[in-house]
Amino acid sequence: MVVGSGAREHALVWKIAQNHKVEKIFISPGNAGTASLAENIVIHPDDIESLATIAKDKGVDLVIVGPEQPLSLGIVDYFENLSIPIFGPTKAASQIESSKIFAKELMIQNNIPCSQGVAFSSYNEAYSYLIQQTPPFVVKADGLAAGKGIIITNSLSEASQALKDMMEGKVFGSAGSKVIIDTYISGREVSLLAFTDGKSISTMIPVCDYKKARDGDHGPNTGGMGCYSRPDFFPPQMAYKATQTVLLPAIKAMSQRGTPYKGVLYAGLMITDEGDIIVLEFNCRFGDPETQVLLPLLKTDIVDICLAVVQGRLDKIKIEWSNKACVGTVMSSAGYPASYEKGYPIIGLESIDKDALVFQTGTKLGNEGKIYNNSGRVLTLSCTGKDIEEAREKVYHNIKNIHFNGSYYRKDIALRKVN
């Protein structure tokens, strides 16, 4: 049973369906795309009790959680108490994403390379500190804010307004009661994820995510508009170094503080012009859209990996990755990441090539069999190829055949001018 409704969860279901021992897949709530591979059960991912009841009733053997919100609410603790096998970190361990202050303190205490941010719970103190800084200003809400809690700007008035909105206006509710005013780090960003059972880790191949809405890295920040793997600027020796200096120390520290970490640990890294690796953030889950390019390159069975993590025997399995490249481009609704209109039919899904993968996000199936956009990010189209250029060409050859009213996508994913 997969929990979530995004393209990330669609990709997970697609990968799980390749395991011939799996008799049945449930997804809660799922989307129009997952319905052809799994049974969608419409329960909100935060309704942990109802999810547990369904999992028990259906005799589910493994639960994989996609989004951070149910993890931070304690879905893993709840399911473990009921002896339902579940893949993901506990509530205490998922603080590594749900509290930026927690993550910063963990990094500082364990010499994990990170920017020098200062935490505040008083608006007046935060404001006094902010006005003494030099641009670019970085203001981060402490808690979960659906990818909108980090403001980076050269304008002091914009940064001050963001601070006021978070701490006094409560635009993110209690997630913005505390903030970090961080130092700005420039460089190239890479997402490095690892499977871990709390004792050993297996680092995945690196992925480059494009967070800005528009070509050339313009426009507002989004959850991610596309990805590719693997980035040339992050060769295997750098991934090894990041494993040794970031991922392993984080896992060890979580264990030592009595909150062992199981599941996927996602490090958002900045590689500076000097080649230093700096942690921007940790996430307690698979990335979206990173998962949509990672899973097509994963040769090992995902169910076997997740069960090994849950059962604490990750060191007993060998996880293998294809040497091919993969590119994924996200198609979004007009207006995203701000407000957008939904309910437009998606045209052309049937016309794409057999080897192109479409992972849908929160799409809705109409009575007459049409699929409608129902969220900001609507789908990820992923293709593999012998190299990045081939994969990229396939993506753009196919994605131009899909559209709906207001649909848009970046044209420069994996072009590598920026990333």
Q: Shortest approach of ligand GLY to residue 336 CB, angstroms?
A: 14
**204-263 binders of ligand GLY (CB under 6 A):** 209, 223-224
In the complex with ligand GLY, the residue whose CB is nearer, 67 or 117, is 67
In the complex with ligand GLY, the residue whose CB is nearer, 288 or 301, is 288
Nearest to 149 by CA among 195, 190, 100: 100
Among the candidate windows 33-41, 282-290, 358-366, 378-386, which touches ligand GLY by CB under 6 A?
282-290
In the complex with ligand GLY, the residue whose CB is nearer, 149 or 223, is 223
What six digits make up the tokens of 255?
Answer: 């264990």
Q: Is 247 exposed, middle or buried (0-12, 13-18, 19+ CB in 10 A)?
A: buried
Nearest to 112 by CA among 263, 241, 285: 241
**Alpha-helical segments (H) within 257-317:** 290-294, 302-310
Nearest to 280 by CA among 192, 356, 167: 192
How many residues bind ligand GLY, per CB under 6 A? Answer: 7
Query: How much is the CA Rg of the chain, to the nearest whole Å?
Result: 21
89 binds ligand GLY (CB under 6 A): no
Among the candidate windows 71-79, 165-173, 237-245, 281-289, which touches ligand GLY by CB under 6 A?
281-289
Place of tokens 């020098």: 116
- How far from 42 is each of 38, 55, 192, CA to CA, in Å? 12, 13, 32
Among the candidate windows 9-17, 280-288, 360-368, 405-413, which touches ligand GLY by CB under 6 A?
280-288
User: Count of CB atoms within 10 A of residue 297's CB?
Assistant: 20
Q: What angle is formed at CA 141 by the lines to CA 233 and CA 98, rounded to 5 degrees?
A: 75
Q: Shortest approach of ligand GLY to residue 288 CB, angstroms?
A: 5
Q: Which of 28, 31, 69, 283 binds ligand GLY (CB under 6 A)?
A: 283
In the complex with ligand GLY, the residue whose CB is nearer, 14 or 266, is 266
Q: What sign does the CA torsion over 7, 62, 243, 265 have? A: positive
Among the candidate windows 44-52, 128-136, 284-292, 324-332, which touches ligand GLY by CB under 6 A?
284-292
What six digits make up the tokens of 68?
Answer: 């951070």
In the complex with ligand GLY, the residue whose CB is nearer, 26 or 97, is 97
Nearest to 63 by CA among 113, 103, 27, 112: 27
In the complex with ligand GLY, the residue whose CB is nearer, 4 or 33, is 4
Contacts with ligand GLY, 286-325, as mask; x by CB under 6 A: -xx-x-----------------------------------
- Residues in the site for ligand GLY, rule: CB under 6 A? 209, 223-224, 283, 287-288, 290
